[in-house]
């Protein structure tokens, strides 16, 4: 049985909610979930592009599409793959150049909140 850890902040709570939701979906649709997971794992494998670069791309797409769960998830992915705050913010800037104010508003709120809270957990 997995040990339950009470989320200590909104970012951790969002990641927990996503994990729980994905677990429920996997129980109900195991074949589809297995294929989806295999596909995404293949997409994020180290290749010509590093896993860090792929996470930065995914963060940009998440910002552009205004997907808050993915913004949090891929901000964490960027940090986990060793992206610096400067690299993350530069990727955010490129996204804002393409996605305008909507992407920038998520960047200056949710991405910065996620970086702060996730970096506090890592220390």
- Which residues are within 8 A (CB) of 96 and not within 5 positions of it... i.e. 6 or more apart? 63, 103, 104, 107
pTM (2 d.p.): 0.87
Q: Which of 12-16, 25-29, 62-66 has the lowest mean pLDDT?
A: 12-16
Q: What size, in residues, is the chain?
A: 123
Q: Rounded CA gap, 101 and 98, in Å?
A: 9
Cα 4 to Cα 20, 40, 49, distances in angstroms: 11, 26, 35
By CB atoms closer than 10 A (0-12, 13-18, 19+), residue 27 is exposed
Q: List pLDDT tens digits, range 59-114.
A: 999 999 999 999 999 999 999 999 999 999 999 999 999 999 999 999 999 999 99
| Confidence band, pLDDT 50/70/90 cuts, at residue 120 | confident
**DSSP at 110:** I
Question: Class of the 50-122 domain?
Answer: mainly alpha
């Amino acid at each position: 049985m997995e040990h339950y850890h009470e989320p200590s902040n909104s970012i951790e709570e969002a990641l927990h909610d996503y994990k729980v939701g994905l677990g429920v979906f996997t129980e109900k649709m195991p074949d589809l979930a297995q294929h989806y997971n295999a596909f995404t794992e293949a997409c994020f494998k180290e290749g010509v592009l590093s896993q860090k670069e792929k996470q930065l791309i995914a963060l940009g797409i998440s910002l552009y599409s205004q997907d808050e769960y993915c913004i949090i998830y891929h901000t964490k992915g960027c940090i986990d793959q060793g992206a610096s705050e400067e690299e993350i913010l530069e990727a955010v800037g490129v996204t804002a150049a393409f996605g305008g104010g909507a992407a920038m508003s998520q960047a200056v709120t949710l991405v910065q909140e996620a970086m702060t809270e996730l970096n506090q957990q890592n220390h």
